Structures are given as structure tokens and as C-alpha cells.
Amino acid sequence: MTSFALAETSIAEAARRRKRRRRALVWTARALTLLVILGGWEFFADKKIVDPFFYGQPSGIFDQLKKWVEHGTAYGSIWLQIWVTLKEALLGFVYGVAGGVVFGVALGQVRFLADVLGPYIKIVNALPRIVLGSIFFVAFGLGTTSKVLLASVLVFFVVFFNAFQGVREVDRNLVANARVLGASRWQVIRNVVLPSALVWIIASLHVAFGFSIIGAIVGEFLGAQKGLGLVIATSQNNFNPDGVFGAMVIIGVIALTAEAFIEQLERRLLAWRPPSPTESGLA
Amino acid sequence: MLQERPTTAQDPADARIELEGVTKRFLTPAGEPFTALYDVNLVVDPGQFCAIVGPTGCGKSTTLTLVSGLDRQSAGVVRVGGQPVDGIARGTSFVFQADALMPWKTVLGNVAMGPIFHGVPKKTAHIAARDWLRRVGLAGFENHHPHQLSGGMRKRVALASALINEPSILLMDEPFGALDVQTKAIMSNELLALWEQTRPSVIFVTHDLEEAIALADRVVVMTVGPGTVKDVYEIDLPRPRGAVQEIRFEPRFLELHQQIWESLRDEVERAYARMAGGSR
């Protein structure tokens, strides 16, 4: 090997080593952070400096989770509660996203529609939408329908505004080019408007899924026969903070898993994008 | 012209472009009326390569949007093949100044767009697109995305996607304006070679006079806004022209350049004075 090639391989080798070392360091620091928080919580709760009656205790939360897994909750197995909440959140997510995209693209495309409906959408968006949960509860009762509706309303607005903005930001040049090449209005939407709005829409999905879980949990809180929201409400009424935190841990795991799926989707749908320097740094 | 002219998809007589007393007025974003073109009269014969030169903001690009049907004139008539232009017509292709490739489509997908929009089955369109990519020298790049290509290569893709529709009229708005000098020269040569194959009527907008003379049969000088036709020059340099880098040193080229520059210089100076804040 020439000294030139040697120098190049050694540089690549060094960069790889640096990257490995950095990753190990990041993970160690993450583990330490968790240890300090949980350990500190447990320690102060043990010493009664933080009252476990109000704020729970990591060991108590762990015991609670174990109990749920082994003996189930008052409303059936914990897996059933998770499934019910997840189903409501997912359905709400799907309906909300579909509605948001359709309305966002339609209003983004048809100026007249946007001008007419714009103020009303702003008014509805300004209302505290959680309150709608009460109305849905009264109208649709204890079943899943009221939760799905609340979740989809929350999701709708997030996706709608992003889709609308995405459509508005479409490069005029691309539209003109497609038209000259012979595209009909529908072909322009399908081939130019939707793909370029997709960047905005997908960015909104991260927030939207969080909202769909909030919708489902709050809906269950207001009145339900099953679900994690009900488990939380019951724990609260029994002065059982470990139960509340335990349900929070479960929800956190669900949200993180969903986030991973959305990231996968994003990577697949936006594979055409040039890699940006900030993204490669975060991985 | 006595050269053999390969037939295009359309009847060559369809490829005559006429502008008669064309005026175009806009409202500026502030609501002020603004006249971009005033009383433009221009004829481009079928199969002719016509270059429009003029200072920045003289309505060169506006002329193209009117011929393409993307926009409508305020007064006068624009005719293509004897018919008044009414919306976007098949047989007209446009190469834009800025990149107009879909970044989410592959090179092949971008080139195949035209035929697919016209209802050609995807498979057939892809076969045609591969053929055009080979003609513009991009075989092997079918599955790349636009951002992976250089500026010159992206222009080739844009050319292929415009020519695949077999236009009888090709409109080009400073297509090579953003390229470096060497790439621009190479692209100009290739454009001429491709044009000789199908001979569409071309309107080529540029502010580079050398480029205009090297490429065109006819050079139109426009006045600074409101734009109108100031002078028309026939370029009698023989075809095929060969390398545009070399034709620049021929005596006839220099002579024409001298003549047209005389006419263009006033407009450029006036435009510059206006931009620098001088009075009208």
C-alpha cells in the first residue's frame, strides 16, 4: 500500500473509532441520567423528604406494574386496557389524519373555500377542544366512539394546518412545468401538490400521534368502562399515585413505539430528500 | 433553408408562432398597474431558432408564458400554427430557468412524466424516457434523484423531459443561465445537436448575446420595459454550426455581434440607469 492510501485508510479508521467512542459515551450518560433521577426519587421518598403518598415511589410503581401484569386491573387484564386505549387512539389518528389531509389540500387548492371557511376554522381551533369530550360523552356514551371522535378532532387540526401550509408552499415552477407537460388539474395535485406537501404532513404526524393518545385518555377519564384513562382515574380516586405513574409509564412506552414507526414511515416516504447535516448529527 | 428537415410529430405548419400587437399588463403586489410588454410584433417561422435578448426586466420571460398559454395577454393576438393560443396546448414544451424537476421522482420518473400525463402507459413511457436519457448522455442515471446530479446534468434531464413530448414548439427561458461557462458551452452544443434532430420552432430567451448569436437563426432585441421589439437580426452563419466556443472567433460572428450590440447597448444602459435609481 502506498503511503497516500495508508493515510486515507487511517483517517477513515480514526473517524470510525471516534464515532464509536462517542456513541458509547452518549449511552453511558443516558443510563446515568436515568439512574440519578430514579435513584434520587427512591432515596428521597424512602427518607420521607418527598412524600410517597402524594408522589409515589419507583419501587412502588414497579410493584404496581407487576401486580397489573400478574393479577390484572379491576376492569380485566392490563393488556385489554392497553388494547382498548390503543385502538381508540389509532382509530382517532387515522380518521383525523385522513380528514386533515383532505381538508387541508382542498382548502389549499381552492382559494375561495379557504377564504370562506378560514375564520370558522380559526374559531373552532381557538376553542379548548378537550371540552368537546364532554359533548361526545353525552352524545355517544361510554363506548369507544366518543374517545375516537375526541382523538380525531385533536389530530385533525394539527394535520390540517400543516397540510394547508404545505399545499400553499408548493413551488410554482413545478406546477407550471407539470401543466406545460400536459398534466390535468388532478394530475397536478397527485404528482406535484401532494408529494411536496407530504414533507409538512409527515412532520405533523409526530405531534398528531401524541394528541391522539391524549384524546383517548381524556375521553376515558370523562367516562368509560375500559382503558388506561379509566385506570388512571381509578388510581387517582384511590389515592394511589403509583397507579397513575404506572399507567404513565405504559403510555410512554406506547408513544415511543409509535414514534419509531412514524420515523420509519418518514424515512421510507421521504427517501428522496438529500441528507441534511443536522439529521445525520442526531442519529 | 435547404437542409433536410426530419418531420416532427406535428405538421410543421403548426409550428409558426405569431405575436400581433401583444400587450401584457400586471398588477404589482402593491396594486399598481405595470405594463410588462407593449405592442410586441414577432414572427417565428416553423423550425426556426429565434433568440430574444434584452436587459433584465424587459418582459422576455413574459413573452414565453404568453406563447405557452400559461398566461394570457391583455391585448393583441398570440397565434401558434395559425390558431389563437387559448390555454396550454399539446406540442409546446417549456424549459424553465430554475430547476423544475420533481425532487421526489427519479430521473427516469421525471422524464417519463410528459407521456404519462398524456395517457401513455407507464411501461411505454419508461421505454421512451430511457431512450431520451441515452440521447442526452445520462444513460445509467435513471434511478438517481435530482439532488444527486450536478447542475448541468439536471439541465439535461429538463431538456429530455421537454423533448420527449416531441414538441413542435420549444420555449426556453434562460435555460443555461445558472450554469458555469464551460458547462454552458457543452450544453449549448448538445442543444443544437438535439434541435437538429427534430427541428422544433424555438424561442430562446437569454441576456447573453454571444449565446444568442451562436445558437439562433434570428435574434430579436427587446427594449427595456415596457418591452417591445426594437430590432430583428437574421443570423446567416451556416448550419450545422459546430462548437459554439469556436464560432465566436469567425469574422462574420464578430460583425453580427458588433451590429447587435450597438442596438442592445442603449437598452442595457437604460435598464442599468433605472436600477441604479436614475430618472427615466
**Closest C-alpha to B54, from B234, B255, B256, B271:** B271
Q: What is the DSSP letter of B246?
A: H
- Please report whether residue B105 resides in a domain: yes
Interface test with B, best of A177, A185, A190, A196 (most B CBs within 10 A): A177
Euclidean distance between CA atoms B280 and B275, whole angstroms? 10
Euclidean distance between CA atoms B168 and B7, whole angstroms? 10
Pairwise CB contact (< 8 Å): B93 & A191:
no
Q: Residues B131, B64: one domain?
A: no
Position B219 scores a pLDDT of 93
Q: Order of strands across the sheet with B83-84?
A: B33-44, B17-27, B75-80, B83-84
3-class secondary structure for chain A? CCHHHHHHHHHHHHHHHHHHHHHHHHHHHHHHHHHHHHHHHHHHHHCCCCCHHHHCCHHHHHHHHHHHHHHCECCECHHHHHHHHHHHHHHHHHHHHHHHHHHHHHHHHCHHHHHHHHHHHHHHHHCCHHHHHHHHHHHHCCCHHHHHHHHHHHHHHHHHHHHHHHHHCCCHHHHHHHHHCCCCHHHHHHHHHHHHHHHHHHHHHHHHHHHHHHHHHHHHHHCCCCCHHHHHHHHHHCCCHHHHHHHHHHHHHHHHHHHHHHHHHHHHHCCCCCCCHHHHHHC
User: What pLDDT, in 10s, does the model give residues B34-89?
Assistant: 888 999 999 999 999 999 998 887 788 889 999 999 999 999 999 988 888 888 88
- Please report whether residue B4 resides in a domain: no
Q: Residues B198, B242: one domain?
A: yes
Euclidean distance between CA atoms B161 and B167, whole angstroms? 11
User: What pLDDT, in 10s, does the model give residues B90-122?
Assistant: 889 999 888 789 999 999 999 999 999 998 999
The DSSP bridge partners found for residue B51 are B204, B219
With beta carbons under 8 A apart, name residues in chain B contacting A270. Answer: 104
Which helix (H) or strand (E) segment holds residue B127: the answer is helix B122-135
Pairwise CB contact (< 8 Å): A181 & B114:
yes
* Residue of A173, A191, A192 with shortest CB distance to B96: A173
The pTM assigned to this predicted structure is 0.80
Q: How many CB atoms lie within 10 A of CB B150?
A: 11
SS3 B231: strand
- Please report whether residue B280 resides in a domain: no
CB B168 within 8 A of CB B91: yes
Pairwise CB contact (< 8 Å): A182 & B90:
yes
SS3 B82: coil
Q: Residues B107, B152: one domain?
A: yes
Pick the residue from chain B with its C-alpha nearest to A176. B70
Q: Residues B106, B86: one domain?
A: no
Q: Residues B56, B127: one domain?
A: no
Q: Residues B191, B158: one domain?
A: no
Pairwise CB contact (< 8 Å): B104 & A272:
yes
* Residue of A178, A196, A272 with shortest CB distance to B145: A272
Position A224 scores a pLDDT of 83
CATH of the domain at B49: 3.40.50.300
Rounded to a whole number of angstroms, the distance from the CA of A196 to the nearest CA of chain B is 8
Q: Residues B173, B161: one domain?
A: no
Q: Which grid cell is B38?
A: 407593449
* Residue of A183, A196, A274 with shortest CB distance to B117: A183
Interface test with A, best of B64, B99, B110, B113 (most A CBs within 10 A): B113
With beta carbons under 8 A apart, name residues in chain A contacting B93. Answer: 180-181
Rounded to whole angstroms, the maximal C-alpha distance in chain A is 80
Q: Does pLDDT of B5 surpass 60?
A: no
Pairwise CB contact (< 8 Å): B103 & A272:
yes
Which helix (H) or strand (E) segment holds residue B51: the answer is strand B49-53
CB B174 within 8 A of CB B207: yes
Q: Residues B38, B145: one domain?
A: no
Euclidean distance between CA atoms B161 and B113, whole angstroms? 7
Confidence of residue B27 (pLDDT cuts 50, 70, 90): confident
Q: Residues B177, B260: one domain?
A: yes
The DSSP bridge partners found for residue B233 are B219
With beta carbons under 8 A apart, name residues in chain A contacting B148. Answer: 274
Chain B, window 197-236: residues with a beta carbon less than 8 angstroms from a chain A beta carbon: none
CB B203 within 8 A of CB B50: yes
SS3 B220: strand
- B161 interface with A at CB cutoff 8 Å: yes
A170 alpha carbon, distance to own chain's centre: 26
Confidence of residue B10 (pLDDT cuts 50, 70, 90): very low
Q: Residues B145, B182: one domain?
A: no
Q: Residues B174, B137: one domain?
A: no
Pairwise CB contact (< 8 Å): B103 & A176:
no
- Please report whether residue B62 resides in a domain: yes
Q: Residues B242, B211: one domain?
A: yes
CB B163 within 8 A of CB B138: no
Kindly give the interhelix angle for A78-109 and A241-269, rounded to the nearest 10 degrees: 40
Confidence of residue B6 (pLDDT cuts 50, 70, 90): very low
- B68 interface with A at CB cutoff 8 Å: yes
Tens-digit pLDDT string for chain A (283 aa): 577 888 888 888 899 999 999 999 999 999 999 999 999 999 998 888 888 888 888 888 898 899 888 888 888 888 898 999 999 999 999 999 999 999 999 999 998 999 999 899 888 888 888 888 888 888 888 888 999 999 999 999 999 999 999 999 899 889 999 999 989 999 999 999 999 899 899 989 999 999 999 999 999 988 888 888 888 988 888 888 888 999 999 999 999 999 999 999 988 888 888 776 554 444 3
The DSSP bridge partners found for residue A102 are none
With beta carbons under 8 A apart, name residues in chain B contacting A196. Answer: 104
Q: Which residue range(s) make up the domain with B106? A: 101-165
How many separate domains does chain B show? 2
Kindly give the interhelix angle for A228-237 and A78-109, rounded to the nearest 10 degrees: 120
Question: Which of B134, B165, B196 lies at the terminal end of a domain, its last residue?
Answer: B165
- Please report whether residue B227 resides in a domain: yes
